[in-house]
Amino acid sequence: MNVGIVGVTGYSGMVLYSFLINHSEVDEIYLYGNQTNAEPRQLSKILPAFGENHLVIYPFDSEKVKEQVDCLFFATPSGTASQFAASLIESAFPVIDLSGDYRLHSAAEYDKWYGQPNRMLPDQAKVTYGLSEFTQDYANYVANPGCYATAVLLALAPLAMEGLLETDSIIVDAKSGVSGAGKKLASSSHFPFINENAWVYKLNHHQHIPEMIQQLQKWDGEIQSIQFSTTLLPITRGIIANHYVKLKKKMTQETLEKVYRNYYDECLFVRFRGQELPMIKDVTGSNFCDIGLVMNETTQVLTIVSVLDNLVKGAAGQAVQNFNKLFGFEESAGLPLLPQCP
């Protein structure tokens, strides 16, 4: 089949392209820019690391997209896909959207968290929030979850779905590499700023918070909020999220591990590791999310640690995973099954 990418020059778009070009079910890749009137550009001139090839980035035209490809990926900043996607959603054309433009169900939430007033949102039935491990029935428009949201939701899902969380005591301290901010220049991503540094940013205001709450409430309607902090680390890629929660009933380490294994033992890309707490290097370059947990018997505080590569499981990798599930391909098709070593 043929696929298209809007936004191949961004970090997530580049990783997405590298997966799709090696995908056994993909015949041709078409590239589109995020403007309708731009001049065509040769990919090899913009990204020489991809080598000489015939690919050209064409201006976006929804009718040509529908003629040329069988599925379109948006790997664009928030606010872009919503400018182009209306006709695609209306015609039920298959789309995997890596941006945040259709993750939320409320226009008021887009105004509050993304600064996008007066959003026109489609019927919820036309868009699937594609947290891969917990999605079986797909609409043709798939809203790929955010990187932080993926790490947090996978860590909390078993407890939320079992109704075990004390809902007024969910604290998440998450840390990410600089690539999570994308390629757009900012003072906080300059080498002299972040090198040998760590910076807490968007405290209580990160745009992934509402999608976490939205999904957690589907699993447990008593959950109204979480305390969520984000820290920028002087590394290129990777997320580590530490979750501190209290439970509604006293549980042993052994019992908690059984709960998690019941959910994740059959999942290809979630590796539950019991008391062995994972680190970022365990998953760099892979589509895995690794999870470990330890119960403090004295304080009755459960610590859950999840790690993932923000550009892979947190973006392009999960997008391909959703693509595979949407079209009935092998779930691992096109995806790396080993992390980068060393």
Catalytic residue set:
147
Q: In this structure, which long-range contacts are made by residues 274-280, counting pairs with CB atoms below 8 Å and at least 24 apart in sequence?
A: 277/305, 278/305, 278/306, 278/307, 279/240, 279/307, 280/177, 280/235, 280/238, 280/239, 280/240, 280/307
- What is the residue-wise DSSP string for 56-68? EEEPP-HHHHHHH
- With CA atoms as reference, report the closest residue to 153 among 238, 211, 200: 211
Question: Taking phi first (over 0 means left), then psi (-120 to 50 degrees means alpha), and beta for anything else, what does residue 3 get?
Answer: beta
User: DSSP secondary-structure letter at 126?
Assistant: G
Q: Is cis: bond before 192, omega within 30 of 0?
A: no
- With CA atoms as reference, report the closest residue to 195 among 232, 231, 237: 232
- With CA atoms as reference, report the closest residue to 200 among 229, 163, 180, 168: 229
C-alpha to C-alpha distance for 194 and 153, rounded to whole angstroms: 27
C-alpha to C-alpha distance for 94 and 116, rounded to whole angstroms: 24
